[in-house]
Amino acid sequence: MTATPARERTVHHAEATDGPWWRHAVIYQVYPRSFADSNGDGIGDLPGITARLDHLVELGVDALWLSPFYVSPQADAGYDVADYRDVDPVFGTLDDIDALLDKAHRLGLRVVVDLVPNHTSDEHIWFAAARAAAPGSPERARYLFREGRGQHGELPPNNWQSMFGGPAWTRVMEADGRPGQWYLHLFDTKQPDLDWSNPQVRAEFEDVLRFWLDRGVDGFRVDVAHGLVKADGLPDWAGAVTMIDGSDPVDDGTDPNVHNGPMFDQEGVHDVYRAWRTVLDSYPGDRAMVAEAWVEPLERLARYVRPDEMHQAFNFSFLSAGWDPLALRSVIDRSFAANDAVGAPTTWVLSNHDVVRHASRLGLSDPTHRPNGIGHGDEQPDAELGLRRARAASLLVLALPGSAYLYQGEELGLPEHTALPDELRQDPTYTRTDGVERGRDGCRVPLPWEQHAPAFGFSPNGASWLPQPAGWGGFTVDAQRGRPGSTYETYRSALRLRREHRLATGDLTWLPSDPQVLELTNRTVLVVANMGPTAVELPVGARVLLSSDAAQSGTVVAPATTVWAELG
């Protein structure tokens, strides 16, 4: 290689100013039940999070996103909300969330909360009223109740399947004790879908937004953002749900089965977000929304982040590209093209509470495969290779312009729990698919904090709602803090350098490289991600700033390694 590498193509230009926080933030996902348990019931809680906020400051993130902590029967770990304006006792109280917000803000951290508008819990007062009311009543009209097909209404109203397996419809008993109408639930039976054509539903959620904005939250992560509005008449669908919760997507933008059925990505959904944007904009302080929308191609997804809609959308196409340099390069290009066209920041994400952790996923023999959980009898990932690739992938993410999402534990290199006893599994997917899908419990295991404490410091007494693997001592924060080259210290360095070099608002230029190597510059930083089988050399004069390889020596970039360097 030469001292000044030839530039190939600039795919994103640096921004003149950094702009509002959400254009460049690193946002850390806290999964409340598994972050830190303060009271010893084995389930993480809000006081536990507040007590550990210093960790996020030490790590160097800008914001946290809290998965749901609202009143809920926990049929889908809180994504089944029974009261949108209160905290579930398992997680604490409204005073606890106020204290969390207060401390986070004092520490300079923004707080994004989850909003679940596609469905409520079946234990929400609206649904209890709907069940008790008659067909055709205003109470039923807030949900999607329909008559069944067949001679006696004994067949579901259409052929839609639940995202968790099984039919998307459940039949209710009417007041006369006979089976009656059916209601739609794209997820579990206990998660009835709301009817977003009903003005009461719209008014209610605008009020919920205000409730949390008034309490001081900095934004919302919007669950199933592409699902609120269904096609008129709820027509049958010939396609299959192929993306959410672990199944394998096809990301060339042409697969007609990728989430474009009549239940997703309907035009009307954008009106909802335009209205919400007006609400957010009426508050001071750059409040923001991020769409959880499994929509492809990326141009379609970018419609959610047009200037008068949401601020960000999770880039699941990137998450789905696995460990494939061509696919990654292509998705990075397409992400910038689509988002730049609407003036929105691109986001980057590798893990969350719905997918196999990337330290395990990337250790599978096919590292683009996305199984929905891993269990006994399944292929077990190569842990060493997986972690090595995960660290390299994370350094790629953190070098890219835009906003990055981290999932709790990835800064520790945490793997999936791939050997959970099946009888402990709690994800409804597991039971709804008769165990065919292992489900998402393996990425939700409580965090290990301290090597020599009960439950690795997750709880005061060793209680833990899912067991942590015995070998997790080396992953704890205290085992990694101050150890050069540990995953934790590597993330800390990356976040510091990302800030110092203003990478999040920088540019992206590809350099010519071996097809197995991603080589780019962002401002003055050279990034080389070697995904091939042989080592490559940095250009002459390059000075290594950071490497994902703990054994980095000189200017050689080993296989499965990402290096950040400054050009001499």
Which residues of this protein are in contact with ligand NOJ, per CB under 6 A? 76, 79, 116, 187, 223-224, 292, 353-354
Judge if the upstream peptide bond of residue 297 is cis by omega within 30 degrees of 0.
Answer: yes
Tokens of residue 323, six digits = 């460990």
H-type helices in 321-382, by residue range? 325-342, 358-361
CB of 124 to ligand NOJ, least distance (A): 14
CB of 222 to ligand NOJ, least distance (A): 10
- For this structure, is 245 an active site residue? no
Choice between 60 and 246, CB closer to ligand NOJ? 246
Choice between 224 and 395, CB closer to ligand NOJ? 224
Choice between 224 and 511, CB closer to ligand NOJ? 224
Helices and strands (H and E) in the chain: how many: 14, 21
- Which residues make beta-bridge pairs with 63? 27, 110
Going by C-alpha positions, the residue among 271, 532, 185 that lies closest to residue 389 is: 532
Exactly one of 223, 265, 309, 416 is catalytic; which is it?
A: 223
Backbone φ and ψ for 97, nearest 5 degrees, come out as -70, -35
CA dist., res. 561 & res. 553, Å (int): 12
390 neighbors 343 (Cβ within 8 angstroms): no
CB of 352 to ligand NOJ, least distance (A): 7
Question: Which strand (E) or helix (H) includes residue 97?
Answer: helix 94-106
Exactly one of 76, 188, 193, 292 is catalytic; which is it?
A: 292
Tokens of residue 105, six digits = 């803000």
CB of 37 to ligand NOJ, least distance (A): 20
CB of 425 to ligand NOJ, least distance (A): 14
DSSP codes joined into one string, 23-73: GT-EEEEE-GGGT--SSSSSS--HHHHHHTHHHHHHHT-SEEEEPP-EE--
- For this structure, is 58 an active site residue? no
118 neighbors 228 (Cβ within 8 angstroms): yes
CB of 371 to ligand NOJ, least distance (A): 16
Choice between 91 and 187, CB closer to ligand NOJ? 187
CA dist., res. 537 & res. 68, Å (int): 46
The residue nearest ligand NOJ at its CB is 79
Choice between 294 and 336, CB closer to ligand NOJ? 294
Choice between 61 and 224, CB closer to ligand NOJ? 224
Going by C-alpha positions, the residue among 537, 518, 536 that lies closest to residue 528 is: 518
Sequence-distant (6+) residues with CB within 8 A of 559 are: 530, 531, 532, 533, 534, 535
Going by C-alpha positions, the residue among 385, 349, 352 that lies closest to residue 561 is: 385
Beta-carbon count within 10 A of 232 CB: 10
CB of 34 to ligand NOJ, least distance (A): 13
Q: Positive or negative CA dihedral for 287, 396, 12, 300?
A: negative
Choice between 319 and 520, CB closer to ligand NOJ? 319
The set of catalytic residues is 223, 292
